Amino acid sequence: SKLRVGLLFGGRSGEHEVSISSARAIALALSSEENANKYEILPFYIQKDGRWLAGDVPQQVLTSGVALTTLAAISKLWQFPAQTQEVDVWFPILHGPNGEDGTIQGLLSLMQVPFVGSGVLGSAMGMDKIAMKMAFAQAGLAQVKYLTLTRAQIWSNPCVFPKLCDQIEATLGYPCFVKPANLGSSVGIAKVRSSSELEAALDNAASYDRRIIVETGVVAREVECAVFGNDQPQASVVGEITFESDFYDYETKYTQGQADLLIPAQLPDSVMRQIQDMALQAFAAVDAAGLARVDFFYVEATGEILINEINTFPGFTATSMYPQLWAKSGIPFTELVDRLIQLALERTQKSE
């Protein structure tokens, strides 16, 4: 009989719509000729208020690609749909907080049903830019200089604040990047060019998260490597993102035609190999599983390769970087989705 795959998509983060696009692509791949005899899809749509819907509505959202906007009155006492009991393996296709950060992974672990991708620790480490950078430093991976601060330091102490700004200037200089620790899609991130812009950037980042990271800005090419596997992960060819805008901000990421993917990136072989090696080390450092995309800055002028971040559930439409990197490395989309499910099953068997 067919394995019932619970597609979990939508979600409470700002990447709700991106999640729907990824889920549509994955649903299509699971219904392809190669996969349709193995898998039955059970779609679950998480509304923007956090409620789970099973049945016709999720199917409609998958078919149309349009988010559901008319929400029922928000209640904290909602139940999980009964159909959640029928799932053999979960495919959490969720990006950002409340999906990619270990919260859903904790719930699925409690259900004792296998799921695609990283577990609680790997997901949480991969979402938190501060924890992630600590793990990377421990693994000896080169990265930009950074400072961390809290919302409380930024908001509630007017005498400390100017000192903080002085410290940022003296340690990191300009331009620097101010980021909420736990987000994605460049939301809440600002490039700060002078002291006059610093306060507003910190204030804005603090509105998104309790913990803030500030980094030295580098002039570099942005290159990405896909990782696939569990205990013996593999690295894909390296891809590059090019764009005209000042940095890879939200608009550049999600406006058609603003960014181009170049696969494989035009890099010396030794640089490509070093990036692949660093990607595998980063994957292990945060305890990722199944899949991850590891992003780097390549400072061409000095030859430095700096790790920027790991994303444990990267964008997954047919044209997204992660599946494209594997397509160019010999694993087509339909096979990739199948193998990710197999990795999920393999992982549960091992931990038991």
The residue ranges that bind Mg ion (CB under 5 A) are 184, 309, 311
247 binds ligand ADP, rule: CB under 6 A: yes
Does 248 sit near ligand ADP (CB under 6 A)?
Answer: yes
β-strands 3-10, 89-92 pairing: parallel
Q: How far is the CB of 272 from ligand ADP (least distance, A)?
A: 19
In Å, what is the CA distance from 75 to each residue of 8, 72, 78, 79, 94? 20, 9, 6, 10, 22
Q: In terms of CB distance, is 116 or 306 closer to ligand ADP?
A: 306
Q: Which token pair is 59?
A: 């199917």
Of 55, 48, 116, residue with least CA distance to 81: 55
Token pair, residue 137, equals: 């430093």
Q: Which is nearer to ligand ADP, 8 or 132 (CB)?
A: 132
C-beta of residue 343 within 8 angstroms of C-beta of residue 116: yes
Alpha helices in the chain (DSSP H): 16-30, 33-36, 56-64, 103-111, 120-127, 129-138, 151-155, 160-172, 195-206, 250-254, 269-285, 321-328, 333-351
* Least CB distance to Mg ion at residue 199 (A): 24
Smallest distance from the beta carbon of 174 to Mg ion, in angstroms?
21
**Of all residues in this chain, which one has the CB nearest to ligand ADP in the complex?**
248
Q: How far apart are CA 259 and CA 57, in angstroms?
A: 33
- Interface pick for ligand ADP out of 177, 313, 316, 333 (rule CB under 6 A): 177
Q: Are 202 and 178 in contact (CB under 8 A)?
A: yes
By CB under 6 A, name the one of 218, 227, 267, 280 that touches ligand ADP.
218
**Of 168 and 321, which CB lies nearer to Mg ion in the complex structure?**
321
- Under DSSP, the state recorded for 84 is G
Q: CB-hemisphere CA count at 13 Å for 99?
A: 32
Q: What does 224 bind: ligand ADP, Mg ion, none (CB cut-off 5 to 8 Å by kind)?
A: none
The span of 15-23, 162-170, 204-212, 213-221 binding ligand ADP (CB under 6 A) equals 213-221
Q: In sequence order, what DSSP letters do the residues of 316-336 get, joined into one string?
A: -STTSHHHHHHHHTT--HHHH
Check residue 144 for interaction with ligand ADP (CB under 6 A).
yes
Instruction: Give the range of 7-15, 25-33, 178-186, 198-206 binding ligand ADP by CB under 6 A.
Output: 178-186
Q: Give residues 302-321 in contact with ligand ADP (rule: CB under 6 A).
A: 308-309
Query: Residue 78 or residue 250: which is nearer to ligand ADP going by CB?
Result: 250
Backbone angles phi, psi at 294, to 5 degrees: -110, 125
The nearest distance, CB 187 to Mg ion, in angstroms, is 10
Residue 222 binding: pick among Mg ion, ligand ADP, none (C-beta 5-8 Å cut-off by kind): ligand ADP
- Report the 10 Å Cβ neighbour count for 227: 25
CB of 174 to ligand ADP, least distance (A): 11
Our CB check for Mg ion shows the closer of 51 and 293 to be 293
Contacting range for ligand ADP; rule: CB under 6 A; set: 18-26, 215-223, 270-278, 336-344: 215-223
- Contact between 182 and ligand ADP (CB under 6 A)? no
Interface residues toward ligand ADP, by CB under 6 A: 144, 177, 179, 183-186, 189, 215, 217-218, 222, 247-248, 295, 308-309
